[in-house]
Amino acid sequence: MNNPLKLSDLNSLFKKYRKKNLRFKYPLLEDAFSNKDLFEAIKVIMSGQLTMSKKTLEFEKKFAKKIKSNYAVMVNSGSSANLLATFAACNPGRKNRFRKGDEALIPALCWPTSLWPLVQAGLKPKFVDVDPLTLNVRATDIIKKINKKTKVILLIHVLGNSTEIDLIYKVAKKKKIILIEDTCESLGATYNRKFLGTFGDFGTYSFYYSHQISSGEGGMVVCNRFDDYQLLLSMRAHGWSRNLKLQKNIEKYYPKLDKRFIFVNSGFNLRPTDITASIGNSQFSRLDKFISIRKKNREKIIKSLKKSKKWNNQYEFLKINKKVNPSFFGFPIIISEKYKHLKKRLLLKLENLGVESRPIISGNFLNQPAAKLYKFKQNPNSFPNSQIIEDRGFFIGLHTKPITNVNLQLLIKSLLLIDSLDKKS
């Protein structure tokens, strides 16, 4: 028998070992993994082939096909995906590459590991403010900031939404600016029916817990050019030549070297394991279902809030770009101006009532001590919209199963408590 273990044999064990979230009644994500997802991982573990192998390749192929990109390379996190894409973009093996001292445009509302690879690779970051209603940069604001030194645009598609990426893509292409789309928060979202992450030179994704799909930890880089694909493959794994098209030739040129250990480039070790790839692959089959359920849950929450007698425009919700078909994993909420002084108290109240929340990315990144350490020349006050999002924004989870009435009532009740918090001040 090839594989005597069956999922049905394990269902009772899964039931016994599955941990309940005791801290939160409404966590960021509930029951992230199905028994089938975990069974796929168990089969990999039992096979003994834990390191990157066929399961990773299988997931990469399925991913690239679904999002209509020519190539996909899996890595061990979304941060690693950004690191790999950025360093591939300045590699001497690339024709159009950036060099130390060139400038990169990046939204001020960003994630640290979207930014740091740029800095680590010698780029000077120039921050751009975002639109407080869409949470994303306006294409015109990015385009206005392009100058002769701009060589990279690191665009972040925030929380399932996006900007007019087609305009940015056109300008970037004309000016030979390298476009990296950090799509870690927006897997499955499309702009004009084209998947986000597939416009630019590189698109990056995260499969961290609570994202659109999860493999525990994990990420992906996509690209359309074969030479970029070869760079990504080599740099992901030490810079060696294994699995590259040039392997046969290089063996001939270097007959004295062990063909398994020929190093043709600089590199990292950002490889995933076949365990995480098999979980990611299993989850990826349900991406469309997750997207659809999350959208419905979001609509239900907004509708119920607005229907309540206590609704008094306490919150504003994300404005979705017209051409975007969004893909959410979180539900961003902006507290109205009038209530903004209550944010801390509200989040504490939500936590006490069992509703988990998070800030929207890292807020205005220029406020962070790490930004001060690196002495970026721009002033945090130059990004008033990112500041609004930091001061008034947060997000709660959107689950992959239809929201229950109990949870819906909990959310409505907890969120609308904001008025009573004011009275207690």
Residues that bind ligand PLP (CB under 6 A): 77-79, 82, 111, 113-114, 156, 182, 184-185, 206, 208, 219, 361
Determine the residue type at 317.
F
Bridge partners, 387 (sequence order): none
Nearer to ligand PLP, 78 or 332 (CB): 78
SS3 197: coil
Between helices 405-415 and 287-307, what is the axis angle to 10°?
A: 50
What is the distance between the alpha carbons of residues 105 and 53, in angstroms, rounded to a whole number?
A: 36
- Pick the closer one to ligand PLP by CB: 240 or 329: 329
- Residue 364, amino acid: N
List, in sequence order, every beta strand (DSSP E) within 159-201. 178-182, 190-191, 194-195
Total count of residues recorded for the chain:
425
Three-state DSSP state, 32: coil
Residue nearest to ligand PLP (CB): 78
Quote the least distance from Cβ 203 to ligand PLP, whole Å.
12
Strands 315-317 and 202-206: unpaired
Q: CB 409 → ligand PLP: shortest distance, Å?
A: 29
Min separation Cβ 182 and ligand PLP, Å? 5
Query: What's the min distance (Å) between Cβ of 106 and ligand PLP?
Result: 11
Token code pair at residue 78: 């979304």
Task: Judge contact between 81 and 131, C-beta under 8 A.
Answer: no
In the bound state with ligand PLP, the residue whose beta carbon lies nearer, of 28 and 235, is 28
Catalytic residue among 211, 238, 341, 399: 211
CB proximity list for 367: less than 8 A, separation 6 or greater: 380, 387, 390
CB 160, min distance to ligand PLP, A: 11
Residue with tokens 């590699």: 91
Q: Which is nearer to ligand PLP, 79 or 314 (CB)?
A: 79
Q: Is 211 a catalytic residue?
A: yes
Comparison of 139 and 305: residue with beta carbon closer to ligand PLP: 139
Distance of closest approach, residue 204 Cβ to ligand PLP, in angstroms:
7
Q: Which is nearer to ligand PLP, 106 or 342 (CB)?
A: 106
Calpha distance 148→127 (Å, rounded): 16
- Dmax of the chain from CA atoms? 80
Return the H-helix or E-strand segment holding 221.
Answer: strand 219-223
Neighbours of 268 (CB within 10 A): 16
Q: Which positions are catalytic?
A: 211
